[in-house]
Amino acid sequence: MRLDSRGLPLTTSSAEAAGHLERAIESFNYWRVDVMDHLGAALAADPDFPFAHAFKGLFLVGGRSAKYADIIAESLNAAKAGIADVCPRERSYIEALEAAAAGRLMDAAQKYEAVLGEHPTDLLGHRFVQQEYFWMGHADNMRDVVERAAPAFEDDTPDYSLYLACRAFSNEEALNYQAAERFGRKALELDPGDPWAAHAMAHVLVMQGRVDEGVTLIEGLKDNWAGKNQIVHHLWWHLCLFLLERGEHERILEHYDAWIRNPESPLVQAVPDAYIDIQNCAALLLRLELRGVEVGPRWDAIADVAEGRIDDHASPFTDPHVAMILAAAGREERAQAVVASMLADAEGDEGPLGVAIRRAAAPCAQASIAHRRGEHDAVVTTLMAARHDFPHMGGSHAQRDIFYQMLVDSCLKSGRDGELATLIQEIKQIGFAQVEGRTLYSQAAERAN
Ligand SMILES: [Fe+2]
């Protein structure tokens, strides 16, 4: 047993392997692209390092793709081979991997909570638990787990800025905007290159309708993100949400081509079908179209990638985006295949993935196809019935808003003024300020009055 530089125990006889693993975890926590390089070096130095295998599996669980299932299973087996010798913290991570690999995501979250009960400053635990609660739509759990750890942190605790970024985002999703902004600004003061702190702040500002501040924030931070992973694409997506409100559509298309979906970018080339990229692309292109903007061949380009996820339901929130893309590209049969595959996959699954698909993601996918066909009554009927279940599929308030925008658009086009009044009220209750002043919603608010 050895202790890493943060005092956390590691079970390996190789100091070299322990050093590489620590760098891999640090890269993960700091949103860098080189996690697998360090992890590969750790496993080369100690091929039997249980925690390194567990971390590899958990890292790939975070990739939210069925294509990683075999490597995840191998990592789990390798980690379990050494479980008898590991310390309780490492055992909890291995058990979390076992739960996550089986789709028991709430059980995985409980394992991370157990780790944080013993080691409240373990940033890896904070990142993983936030990730799982976020993609299950449990904003209050996200906030509670991070707040419980607060007394353990001092200003000079290692990774304090990372903790503040997690604290900022979880408070934002729990609608505690003032606290979120305080933690987010402090995190950025300590580390202006932290993309998660920038992200938390972008969410606060978009929820509050502080459009110009949002543009200034992201434009002021964007040069600090060299070496960071796909989160950078999502931050450019957030910039575009603010630009949408200013009507700067040409600029958005330029950012889309250069920063959100640039096939020449090394990040896109490394993982062309990253789930967050698919979400960003679909949700931005549709937002543009809902505001009358022609997006040209962009749907078709991303549809070629979306085809690869038709039978991949590791990320329920991504599924309706895949259907949206395929329908928009004129590949309706393929879009329908996504829905059929989702429902088949979810059948009999009473766990969080099955529930997310049946109650939220599948209706959103069906509505996305109907919306493309101009069947607005069908969109309204489907989404009005499903909307209170949207959080089950995870994602942020700002991300899920695309399905409210689709619903409002269909209400506008099918003359459902009664529903518009309800929806405007509801969008405010979700946590959006200045709803009447926003693009698209302003029309709805006028019609609703
Ligand atoms: Fe976001």
Q: How many angstroms is it from 44 CA to the middle of ligand 1?
A: 35
The pLDDT tens digits for 237-250 are 999 999 999 999 99
Closest CA to 147 of 178, 170, 124: 170
Q: How many angstroms is it from 134 CA to the middle of ligand 1?
A: 11
Instruction: In whole angstroms, give the CA distance from residue 66 to residue 62.
Output: 11
pLDDT attached to residue 307: 98
Q: How many angstroms is it from 374 CA to the middle of ligand 1?
A: 29
Q: How many angstroms is it from 238 CA to the middle of ligand 1?
A: 7
CATH of the domain at 15: 1.25.40
pLDDT attached to residue 7: 86
Which contiguous run of DSSP H or E holds residue 3?
A: strand 2-3
Domain boundary among 118, 134, 150: 134
Residue 212, domain member (yes or no) = no
Domain boundary among 109, 134, 159: 134
Q: How many angstroms is it from 203 CA to the middle of ligand 1?
A: 6
Which contiguous run of DSSP H or E holds residue 9?
A: strand 9-10
Residues of the domain holding 4: 1-134
pLDDT attached to residue 40: 98
**pLDDT band of 1, cuts 50, 70, 90:** confident
The type of residue at 91 is R
Q: How many angstroms is it from 260 CA to the middle of ligand 1?
A: 13
Tokens representing residue 368 in the block? 């996305």
Domain boundary among 82, 111, 134: 134
Residue carrying the six token digits 């249980």 = 50
Q: What is the distance in angstroms between the CA of the first residue and the CA of the last residue of the chain? A: 68
Which contiguous run of DSSP H or E holds residue 181?
A: helix 177-190
Closest CA to 93 of 104, 102, 81, 80: 80
Q: How many angstroms is it from 152 CA to the middle of ligand 1?
A: 27
The pLDDT tens digits for 347-394 are 999 999 999 999 999 999 999 999 999 999 999 999 999 999 999 999
Do 221 and 209 contact (CB within 8 A), yes or no? no
Do 435 and 428 contact (CB within 8 A), yes or no? yes
Q: How many angstroms is it from 395 CA to the middle of ligand 1?
A: 8
Residue 204, domain member (yes or no) = no
> 303 vs 284, 297, 298, CA distance in Å?
14, 10, 8
Distance of CA 429 to the CA centre of its chain: 22
Return the DSSP state at 2.
Answer: E
Residue 266, domain member (yes or no) = no
Q: How many angstroms is it from 307 CA to the middle of ligand 1?
A: 24
Q: How many angstroms is it from 280 CA to the middle of ligand 1?
A: 9
Tokens representing residue 23 in the block? 């760098």
Q: How many angstroms is it from 431 CA to the middle of ligand 1?
A: 15
Helix (H, G, I), strand (E, B) or coil at 196: helix
pLDDT attached to residue 121: 96
Q: How many angstroms is it from 202 CA to the middle of ligand 1?
A: 8
Q: How many angstroms is it from 201 CA to the middle of ligand 1?
A: 10
Look at the chain and report how many structural domains it folds into. Answer: 2
**At 385, phi and psi to the nearest 5?**
-75, -30
Do 309 and 273 contact (CB within 8 A), yes or no? yes
- Record the pTM: 0.97
For the segment 334-346, the average pLDDT, to the nearest whole number, is: 98
Q: How many angstroms is it from 172 CA to the middle of ligand 1?
A: 11
Closest CA to 445 of 430, 14, 428: 428
Return the DSSP state at 356.
Answer: H
pLDDT at 3 over 90: no
Q: How many angstroms is it from 234 CA to the middle of ligand 1?
A: 6
Q: How many angstroms is it from 14 CA to the middle of ligand 1?
A: 39
Tokens representing residue 307 in the block? 């085809």
pLDDT mean across residues, the chain: 97
Q: How many angstroms is it from 236 CA to the middle of ligand 1?
A: 10
Q: How many angstroms is it from 98 CA to the middle of ligand 1?
A: 28
Instruction: In whole angstroms, give the CA distance from residue 89 to residue 95.
Output: 10
Q: How many angstroms is it from 396 CA to the middle of ligand 1?
A: 6
Q: How many angstroms is it from 87 CA to the middle of ligand 1?
A: 35
Helix (H, G, I), strand (E, B) or coil at 353: helix
**At 397, phi and psi to the nearest 5?**
-55, -45
Q: How many angstroms is it from 237 CA to the middle of ligand 1?
A: 8
The pLDDT tens digits for 161-219 are 999 999 999 999 999 999 999 999 999 999 999 999 999 999 999 999 999 999 999 99
Instruction: In whole angstroms, give the CA distance from residue 392 to residue 386.
Output: 10
Residue 316, domain member (yes or no) = yes
> 415 vs 304, 443, 447, CA distance in Å?
35, 12, 9
**At 76, phi and psi to the nearest 5?**
-65, -45
The pLDDT tens digits for 316-333 are 999 999 999 999 999 999
Size of the chain, expressed as the number of residues it contains: 449
pLDDT at 449 over 80: no
Tokens representing residue 361 in the block? 């993601």
pLDDT attached to residue 202: 98
Q: How many angstroms is it from 274 CA to the middle of ligand 1?
A: 15
Q: How many angstroms is it from 124 CA to the middle of ligand 1?
A: 20
Alpha-carbon dihedral sign for residues 89, 313, 143, 23: positive
Closest CA to 92 of 139, 46, 133, 128: 128
List beta partners, residue 101.
none
pLDDT attached to residue 210: 98
pLDDT attached to residue 24: 98
Q: Which residues are CB-neighbours of 273 under 8 A, at least 6 positions away?
A: 65, 305, 306, 308, 309
Tokens representing residue 41 in the block? 């070096």
> 199 vs 63, 310, 350, CA distance in Å?
19, 29, 32
